[in-house]
Amino acid sequence: MAPARVRFAPSPTGRLHIGTARTALFNWLYARHQGGAFILRVEDTDRERSTNEHELDILADLQWLGLDWDEGPDIGGPYGPYRQSERLEAGSYSQAFERLGQVGALYECYCSPEELEAERQAARDSKQMPKYSGRCRQLTTEERQVFRDAGRRPSLRFAVPAARVIRFDDLIRGKMEFGTDVIGDFIVARADGMPTYNLAAVVDDAGMAITHVIRGEDHLTNTARQALIFEALGLELPAFAHLSMILGPDKTKLSKRHGAAAVSDYCRQGYLSQALLNNLALLSWSAPDATEVMDADEIVRAFSLARVSKSPPIFDGEKLRWFNAQHLRRLDLADLANLTFLQLPPEWSQAISQVGGMERWQRIVAAIRTNLEQLTDVRTYAKIFFELDYDMATRERLATSVSTEIRHAAAAALADRDVLTLDQAKAFVAQVKDEMSAAGHRPKEIFQTLRLALTGQLSGPEVYFLPYALGPAECRVRLSSIDGD
């Protein structure tokens, strides 16, 4: 069997949202698992709403997610061009119109937008499914001429055969059937000669030798229409797989209301691409062994359409945070430090650049990494290493004779130290604890004093991380900073 060829066909009319990104991902996973090709096709026949910026954004978001394509508008390929506007110019669609005309599957429709809207309204008023009446099907040559003389330009409609059942096997939903009686004759070319989505998609899927069309279930009725076009053109139908719509936690269709954002927003909010990819992959699909946290390679290896469920999946921001935390933990420290460094406020990154550099930042990240769920969380958890602010109660506590004794002992233990390894930092804490226990102080008092003096907070990373990440010099300053009060 020839290797699979699948495509992701975004319209560059907006940003890449979660639902569309998941469609792209499932196509990519299928291609990579099969050793097939993943093709990117830009469907920009809607000239008014399509923009170059949106196309660039979509491509950048796919790249960020790690979904690389084998053929596409930017890299070309043997079936190019990969933008429908360019295919139109190259004449890709005119042959199809000619052929459809020859087999009697097309007719000119002169209905004005107002007439069509009146028809739809009448259907709604009588609680019927709006469906084009087909009234231009029977126009005589003379009647058409009258419309043309009146300045009307026709669109082209596909003449849907009556009383037929369209059948196809959906790889996710099983046997599908659509009676043609509910499908009105649909437009395949607008009055300005532009092909519509259904026509262009068929011509391009056939022309690009697409073997599997994987897309959202909102396209199911389009698939029925497209199957008719494939048939009329004498082309072989590809396999189809329709993914269920994604729901929000309240089980309604996922939308902005749920805080669902574009892929680039998640990037900006400090999510890792591998966490978002992992989460998206588990929207309808699950691994045979039910593993949840996986990187892209693991998912590619385990992926199959057979394990894609037709029940609608739920996208939940909480779950995404959880995936993100898991993937943050999988990163090695240097990578995590590099990624989180980009999230720091300028004062902090400057401070790091001036003293200690990435080596110092890595120490801080080591101290807080288990707290992080988003990259942006470093702004919360790293604060204690850049700013020290004691409230009144803390000052009073640190000023007691017991605390003062502990602070001074700790500062003395760090007297000639320059940098500490993690083991040395642990040894330092143990030393202060032993000395101060011998002096009659309780361990809790000792640790709390150290933590409070070094951070101004009662909770935070393990105490030994504080001298490790702050460094002895800064610790000495903090341990004695209230003495001058």
Output the smallest distance, CB 220 to ligand GLU, in A: 11
Closer residue to ligand GLU, CB minimum distance, 156 or 201:
201
Given the residues 256, 319, 426, 444, the one annotated as active site: 256
Least separation, in Å, of the C-beta of 9 and ligand GLU? Answer: 4
Q: Is 87 in the site for ligand GLU (CB under 6 A)?
A: no
**Could you say whether residue 40 binds ligand GLU (CB under 6 A)?**
no
- The nearest distance, CB 70 to ligand GLU, in angstroms, is 17
Query: What single-letter amino acid sits at 425?
Result: A
Q: Is 241 in the site for ligand GLU (CB under 6 A)?
A: no
Using CB under 6 A as the binding rule, whether residue 275 contacts ligand GLU is answered as no
Q: Which is nearer to ligand GLU, 43 or 61 (CB)?
A: 43
**Closer by beta carbon to ligand GLU, 9 or else 410:** 9
Number of chain residues interacting with ligand GLU (CB under 6 A):
7
Phi-psi bin for 25: left (phi > 0), alpha (psi -120 to 50), beta? alpha
The reply to whether 11 sits near ligand GLU by the rule CB under 6 A is yes
Q: How far is the CB of 223 from ligand GLU (least distance, A)?
A: 8
Query: At closest approach, how far in Å is the CB of 85 from ligand GLU?
Result: 13
212 part of the interface to ligand GLU, by CB under 6 A: no
For ligand GLU, which is the closer residue by CB, 9 or 375? 9
Pick 32 or 215: Cβ nearer ligand GLU:
215
Instruction: Enumerate the β-bridge partners of residue 38.
Output: 6
Quick check: 59 binds ligand GLU (CB under 6 A)? no
Q: Dihedral sign for Cα 143, 144, 147, 151, please.
A: negative
Candidates 4, 5, 6, 9; binder of ligand GLU (CB under 6 A) is 9
* Binder among 38, 43, 156, 428 for ligand GLU (CB under 6 A): 43
Give, to the nearest 10 degrees, the angle between helix 273-281 and helix 317-330: 130
- For residues 13-46, one letter each, b for 16 or more C-beta atoms within 10 angstroms of the residue's C-beta and e for the rest, the string is eebbbbbbbbbbbbbbbbbbbbebbbbbbbbbbb
First to last CA, the chain: 82
Q: Residue 62: name the closest of 34, 100, 24, 97 by CA.
A: 24
Tell me the window of 3-11, 124-132, 336-344, 449-457 that interacts with ligand GLU (CB under 6 A).
3-11
* 44 part of the interface to ligand GLU, by CB under 6 A: no
Contact 260/254 with Cβ under 8 angstroms?
yes
Q: What is the largest CA-CA distance in the chain?
A: 111
* Inter-residue contact 442 to 377 (CB < 8 Å): no
Q: Which is nearer to ligand GLU, 9 or 109 (CB)?
A: 9
Q: Residue for token digits 């004449």? A: 91
Q: Out of 212, 215, 242, 360, point to the residue binding ligand GLU (CB under 6 A).
A: 215
CA distances (Å), 28 to each of 5, 39, 67, 424, in order? Answer: 10, 9, 7, 48
Among 194, 201, 275, 308, binds ligand GLU (CB under 6 A): 201
Of 96, 162, 94, 103, nearest to 134 by C-alpha is 162
Q: Which of residues 309-368 bind ligand GLU (CB under 6 A)?
A: none
Give the interface segment with ligand GLU, choosing from 9-17, 164-172, 318-326, 328-336 (CB under 6 A): 9-17
Least separation, in Å, of the C-beta of 284 and ligand GLU? 16
Residue 243 sits in the site that holds ligand GLU (CB under 6 A): no
Q: Give the one residue of 5, 6, 10, 212 binding ligand GLU; rule: CB under 6 A.
A: 10
**219, 225, 383, 451: residue in contact with ligand GLU (rule CB under 6 A):** 219
383 is catalytic: no
Give the range of 5-13, 99-107, 126-134, 429-437 binding ligand GLU by CB under 6 A: 5-13
Tell whether residue 204 is a contact of ligand GLU (CB under 6 A).
Answer: no
Collect contacts of 160-167 with beta carbons under 8 A, ≥24 apart. 160/184, 160/185, 160/186, 160/225, 160/228, 161/228, 166/224, 166/227, 166/228
Residues that are catalytic:
256
Per CB under 6 A, residues contacting ligand GLU are 9-11, 43, 201, 215, 219
